[in-house]
Amino acid sequence: MAEEWFDIYDEDMRPLGQATRAQTHALGHWHQTFHCWLTRRQGGDRFVRFQLRQLTKDTNPGHYDITAAGHLAAGETLAHAVRELEEELGIAVPFASLHPLMQWREQAEGEVNGRPFIDRELSHVFGLVCDLPLTSFKLQAEEVSGIYEAKLEAMIDLFEGRLPEIAAAGAELDAEGQLMPTVRSVTAAQFVPRDPRYYIDIFRMLQSLTSS
């Protein structure tokens, strides 16, 4: 597999040049990412969809995460980054159909498979209304092992500490690579570690996005 290259920046997001993914995470360079949260409404209920990261990921393996997300490759624009939806979920949508929600800066440090990493990202966050049944997605097995959804109101209660866990309906890849329906109990601690305000703010924005 070819090495990924990113545009890298200083703390003020001034360009520094380019570096490989490994170099970027090893040295803690700032770089840009694309986040897209899928949401839908059914009657009076509004839902958010999220993925389960594969255990082989180099950061936060086996955690629940944004429905689709990825790094901007060197030279890419946000309009190019919409490819993440097709790569990870198998859905092709025009960039114009996404709703910009916010920008978010975050830093994380840790270790995966004995290798330390420093992840510094400026994330461009979008929402997309999508009613496609969960079993109709085509997941990128190398990246994503399942896709799930839960009510937005319950997710806010979860991240604000009013509920210890919630039930999420989902679809997981089986040994043959087919998506099979499932239900999981989900806790906030099982999501990629971030400032809880990120999740809470996004879920409230998605409520507004599906309010009409």
pLDDT for 57: 85
> Residue range 51-61: average pLDDT?
88
CATH number for the domain that contains residue 56: 3.90.79.10
Number of domains in the chain: 1
Asked if residue 59 has pLDDT above 80, the reply is no
Segments forming the whole domain that contains residue 136: 5-209
pLDDT for 120: 96
Q: By mean pLDDT, which of 10-14, 55-59, 115-119 is the weakest?
A: 55-59
DSSP secondary structure of the chain: -PPPEEEEE-TT--EEEEEEHHHHHHHT-EEEEEEEEEEEEETTEEEEEEEEE-TT-SSSTT-EE-SEEEEPPTT--HHHHTHHHHHHH-----GGGSEEEEEEEEEEEEEETTEEEEEEEEEEEEEEE----GGG----TTTEEEEEEEEHHHHHHHHTTS-S-EEEEEEEE-TTS-EEEEEEEE-GGGBPP--HHHHHHHHHHHHHHT--
> Residue range 85-109: average pLDDT?
96
pLDDT in tens, 109-132: 888 778 888 999 999 999 999 999
